[in-house]
Amino acid sequence: MAHGWEGELVRLVPLDYDRHFENVVRWVNDPEVTQWVIVGDFPLTKFAEQEWFERAAKASETEIVFAIETLGGKHIGSSGVHHVSFRHSNCTTGSLIGEKDEWGKGYGTDAARVRARYCFEVLGLQTLYTAFLDGNDRSRRMSEKNGYRECGRFPKRYWKRGAFRDEISMVLERETWLGLQR
């Protein structure tokens, strides 16, 4: 029986150690997968990743991490809702498609769409933020397809793979999202 928040291509489901942990460890240790994310430049043991996974799997009112599965049940990534502030009605979001053979098929875009629906309709938030490193064209396209717009840039914020890279901040407001739903 299917559970979770379903889109056209993917389903966001609670993290499950037996179904998802080994994939997450493999992805965070794959330099190609982590090319554009802050983590991934230092080897992560199963023990170290297990600490993160256990925290993420617990979910709280301020941190929610989903596994991204295809509608057929294949685990392909993760998507998070972080730093939820009900007082200010906002959060930070992010996703990672770890299965490289699934890149470019629209799964990340659909996962972000489902995550936005969850944030606006279930959590009742007004504003979603996301950020990525300059040069991460996939993240930019995915964000823009879902209505995010650039709202800021931190010059040379992170050292990644031989260069300081700008962090680009994007925002999606409830009104924009509602307009896309019509």
pTM of the model: 0.95
For residue 31, what is the domain's CATH number? 3.40.630.30
- Looking at residue 85, its pLDDT comes to 98
pLDDT digits (tens, 9 = 90+) for 74-93: 999 999 999 999 999 999 99
| CB proximity list for 132: less than 8 A, separation 6 or greater | 36, 139, 140, 143, 167, 168, 170
Residue-level pLDDT at 2: 62
Selection from 117, 128, 103, 116 nearest residue 36 by Cα = 103
Q: What is the pLDDT of residues 17-31, one digit of tens each?
A: 999 999 999 999 999
Percent of the chain topping pLDDT 90: 88
Overall domain count for the chain: 1
Averaged confidence pLDDT in the chain: 95
The answer to whether residue 1 scores a pLDDT higher than 70 is no
SS3 3: coil
Domain membership of residue 27 as a residue range: 5-181
CB of 129 within 8 A of CB of 91? Answer: yes
- pLDDT tens by residue, 127-178: 999 999 999 999 999 999 999 999 999 999 999 999 999 999 999 999 999 9
Judged against a pLDDT cut of 70, whether residue 181 lies above it is answered with yes
Strand locations in 16-74 (E): 64-70
Report the alpha-carbon distance of residue 78 to residue 98 in Å, rounded. 8
Q: What is the pLDDT of residues 44-53, one digit of tens each?
A: 899 989 998 9
